[in-house]
């Protein structure tokens, strides 16, 4: 494996060459059944080994605080805040589609009798919601 920063690469690889992300998870056995009825081999993430995300500015961010704040929103069903890169944070969000539809109707973004919202409009509503944290 070639790297731009061999020293940093050495710090995140274990003795067998596996990348240590700090995440805690497991691989589902081949007999597991999920939504697709065959989820064997799927990586299931359960948490983090350590929570603090350190940005390039030296700022320490506790993702759990942001996640707890965000999950109070009825528009968000699940969220995981991640260190997207060392300059900024990212978030993986599972939206509460029913609540987003209702919010879109209340804001007249969607007709009252409509049953679907475009992905772009859903993302716009979530961005507006996230800005309130």
pTM over 0.85: no
Strand stretches in the chain, DSSP E: 23-27, 43-48, 53-54, 60-61, 76-82, 90-95
The domain limits of the chain are 1-49, 51-133
32 confidence band (pLDDT: 50, 70, 90): low
What would the pLDDT profile of 93-102 be if each residue is shown by its tens digit? 999 999 999 9
Say which CATH architecture domain 51-133 belongs to. 2-Layer Sandwich (3.30)
CA proximity to 44, closest of 62, 32, 54: 32
41 torsion bin: left (phi>0), alpha (psi -120 to 50), beta (else): left
């Amino acid at each position: 494996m070639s790297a731009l920063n061999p020293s940093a690469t050495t710090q995140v690889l274990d003795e067998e060459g596996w990348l240590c992300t700090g995440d805690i998870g497991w691989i589902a056995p081949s007999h597991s059944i999920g939504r697709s009825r065959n989820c064997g081999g799927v990586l299931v993430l359960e948490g983090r080994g350590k929570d603090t995300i350190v940005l390039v500015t030296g700022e320490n961010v506790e993702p759990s605080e942001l996640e707890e704040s965000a999950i109070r929103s009825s528009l968000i069903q699940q969220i995981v805040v991640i260190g997207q890169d060392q300059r900024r944070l990212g978030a993986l969000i599972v939206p509460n589609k029913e609540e987003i539809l209702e919010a879109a109707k209340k804001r007249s973004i969607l007709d009252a009798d409509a049953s679907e919202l475009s992905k772009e409009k859903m993302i716009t509503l979530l961005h507006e919601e996230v800005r309130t944290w």
